[in-house]
A and B are shown apart, each in its own frame.
Chain A
Amino acid sequence: MSTVENTNDTNTMIRVRDLHKTFGKHIQAVAGVDLDVRSGEVVVIVGPSGSGKSTVLRCLNLLETPTHGTVEIDGVDVTAKGCDIDAIRAEVGMVFQQFNLFPHLTVMDNIVLAQRKVRHRNKTEATAEAMRQLTRVGIPEKADAYPKQLSGGQQQRVAIARALAMGPKVMLFDEPTSALDPEMVSEVLDVMLELAKAGMTMVVVTHEMGFARRAADRVVFIDEGKFVEIGSPDEMFDRPQHERTKAFFDKILHH
């Protein structure tokens, strides 16, 4: 498979080998996945619901513990025993479908909290960085608001700012626009496009094919816990090789 060829590339940011994740005894969510993501690359994972795409993503920062296989982030094997996973997670930003902002904290405190506790920045530094990221996602005026006072799109942008404030090497997006009202999808995708252009390494699980076409270096189609096909957006959308890939894109692109 094309993913395994750049093993000796020092620019590899994420390296996944033979990843398996089984829930309980019989539910095999991920059944042997290999993936290399180069530094600065944007990889979009698509697939039908229940195909294991979110589980793959969640295995990358060990929100799910892989049943088998290895995950390396920037050369560090996070699946190895004794790995300081908190230190790795600080380098891997994650954006969730449900935003998961901390409702008892203001937007500013949401972004400041981990900077202070994990990065040990002082209050002035953390606040300045938070304002920088809020400006980047376009809502610096919401710094003192509480999450519930914001629209879904604004909340998700705060969530992105919160992750970016840690200065991550990689950003993971788990269906970041799936819980949004349609009119708010674009404001979040715009922020993600900017981020991709700025050279951030990104792994994105999404149903937004427009985003995949514009931002992705590679698109991965996953089904039943296995990568069926990997290629450039043009290859995948216009000339899919596998029947299952074809059927999937037929369903979501033309209706």
Chain B
Amino acid sequence: MSSVNYDPHAGAVLPTGNESGATRHRDDTEPWYETFPWWAVLMGIIFAVLVGLVVFDAGYNQAYDRIIPGLWLTVKATLASFAIACSAGLLLALMRTSGSVVMRNLSRTYVEFIRGIPMLVLIFTITLVVVPEVSNSLGMQNRISPFWRAVIALSLIYAGYIAEIFRAGIESVDRGQVEAGRSLGLSRRDTTRSIVLPQALRAVVPPLGNDFIAVLKDTSLLSTVGVLEITQNARQYSAGSFKFRDAYLATTLIYLSLTILLSLLLAFLERRLSAGRTAVRS
């Protein structure tokens, strides 16, 4: 490209317009090994070694067999928590961006509260204190299983995080969109539902996907409150057999498989979405 700048003070010079400014300038003379995704190769090697261990080593194989039954609970906890957290998070975001002072402040309080406390502490507090006491006061003692208590905890926590994602998405929609909707006589509610949210949701797919993976990983914290998911199986197996290495490397493999798979799916979904936005239809 012609805009390569040989000025020794180039860093202080304003971008000339046809370069992307913040990102590093990529030109054709750069050797291939500068841009080659070595990290993916390394990840592949690590992954292959783990798979090899579990497949060919009897010790790892046994640990794996003992741990993998927890997969279903991990997946179930992830899906349930994420679904509830998304619904509640969207509601919180709508409250936060609403015209009501009360709603805005209630939402803000909730988010600040959740964000200010370590997740593990919140999990203990919600599963061991909040849910039992609330269910007691509703007259349904001990009827909520440890699994659902844990899901409630994770949902309430992630609702606070996801609310911020939705809020950012809603606020990223140009103010003119709302004005155009309202000037046509659409109510605030219809404007939000038909104009703002469809655009906001498209914008939040990438960060929401990241949080989905984060929920999956954080289900491992539920091992501390008696949910027999992957991590808890690994803890039990290693505690009984002292085979910590087998247990936790097998666990590592399982989590890594899940997160890599999800990342690939997410990348695919994002490509589809951005392609759909620029596709020429006539």
Give the dominant DSSP class at B's interface. helix
Which residue in B180, B181, B187, B202 is a CB contact (below 8 Å) of A104? B202
Per CB-CB distance, the 4 closest pairs between chain A and chain B, nearest first, are A90-B185, A100-B180, A114-B184, A94-B183
Which residue in B190, B202, B281 is a CB contact (below 8 Å) of A117? B190
Q: Does B23 contact A (CB under 8 A)?
A: no
- The docked-state distance in angstroms from the alpha carbon of A91 to that of B198 is 26
CB distance B184 to A90 under 8 Å?
A: yes
- The docked-state distance in angstroms from the alpha carbon of A121 to that of B177 is 22
Instruction: Tell me the A142-162 residues at the B interface (CB within 8 Å).
Output: 144-146, 148-149, 159, 162
- The docked-state distance in angstroms from the alpha carbon of A134 to that of B184 is 17
Instruction: Tell me the B173-219 residues at the A interface (CB within 8 Å).
Output: 174, 176-177, 179-187, 190, 194-195, 198-199, 202
Count CB-based A-B contacts (< 8 Å). 74
Q: Can you list 5 A-B pairs with a CB-CB distance of less than 8 A?
A: A86-B187, A100-B176, A104-B198, A117-B186, A117-B187
Q: Contacts A86-B186, A114-B186, A117-B186 given: A96-B281 contact, CB under 8 Å? A: no
Binary flags per residue of A101-128, CB closer than 8 Å to B gives 1, else 0: 1111000000001100110000000000
- The docked-state distance in angstroms from the alpha carbon of A117 to that of B179 is 16
- The docked-state distance in angstroms from the alpha carbon of A61 to that of B186 is 13
CB distance A144 to B282 under 8 Å?
A: yes
CB distance B184 to A100 under 8 Å?
A: no
Distance in Å: Cβ of B169 to nearest Cβ of chain A: 13
Where the two chains meet, the residues of B that have a C-beta atom closer than 8 Å to any C-beta of A are 174, 176-177, 179-187, 190, 194-195, 198-199, 202, 277-278, 280-282
- The docked-state distance in angstroms from the alpha carbon of A30 to that of B234 is 70
CB distance A144 to B281 under 8 Å?
A: yes
Collect the chain A residues with CB atoms within 8 Å of residue B199's CB. Answer: 102-104
Given A86-B187, A166-B185, 9 more A-B residue pairs with CB atoms under 8 Å apart are: A63-B179, A93-B183, A94-B179, A100-B179, A104-B202, A113-B184, A144-B282, A149-B281, A162-B184
Distance in Å: Cβ of A63 to nearest Cβ of chain B: 6
Collect the chain A residues with CB atoms within 8 Å of residue B198's CB. Answer: 104
Where the two chains meet, the residues of A that have a C-beta atom closer than 8 Å to any C-beta of B are 61, 63, 86-94, 96, 98, 100-104, 113-114, 117-118, 144-146, 148-149, 159, 162-163, 166
Collect the chain B residues with CB atoms within 8 Å of residue A162's CB. Answer: 184
Q: Contacts A104-B199, A144-B281 given: A163-B184 contact, CB under 8 Å? A: yes
Collect the chain B residues with CB atoms within 8 Å of residue A96's CB. Answer: 176, 179-180
- The docked-state distance in angstroms from the alpha carbon of A61 to that of B183 is 7
Distance in Å: Cβ of B270 to nearest Cβ of chain A: 17
CB distance A63 to B182 under 8 Å?
A: yes
- The docked-state distance in angstroms from the alpha carbon of A63 to that of B177 is 12
CB distance A86 to B185 under 8 Å?
A: yes
Distance in Å: Cβ of A147 to nearest Cβ of chain B: 11
Q: Contacts A63-B182, A89-B182 given: A102-B195 contact, CB under 8 Å? A: yes
- The docked-state distance in angstroms from the alpha carbon of A91 to that of B183 is 9
Collect the chain A residues with CB atoms within 8 Å of residue B179's CB. Answer: 63, 94, 96, 100
Collect the chain A residues with CB atoms within 8 Å of residue B187's CB. Answer: 86, 117
Collect the chain B residues with CB atoms within 8 Å of residue A113's CB. Answer: 184, 186, 194-195
- The docked-state distance in angstroms from the alpha carbon of A235 to that of B282 is 48
Collect the chain A residues with CB atoms within 8 Å of residue B182's CB. Answer: 63, 86, 89
- The docked-state distance in angstroms from the alpha carbon of A146 to that of B194 is 16
Collect the chain A residues with CB atoms within 8 Å of residue B183's CB. Answer: 61, 63, 89, 92-94, 163
Interface centre among B174, B184, B198, B282 (most CB of A within 10 A): B184
Distance in Å: Cβ of A73 to nearest Cβ of chain B: 12
Collect the chain A residues with CB atoms within 8 Å of residue B180's CB. Answer: 94, 96, 100-102, 159
- The docked-state distance in angstroms from the alpha carbon of A93 to that of B182 is 10
- The docked-state distance in angstroms from the alpha carbon of A88 to that of B182 is 11
Interface centre among A63, A94, A104 (most CB of B within 10 A): A104
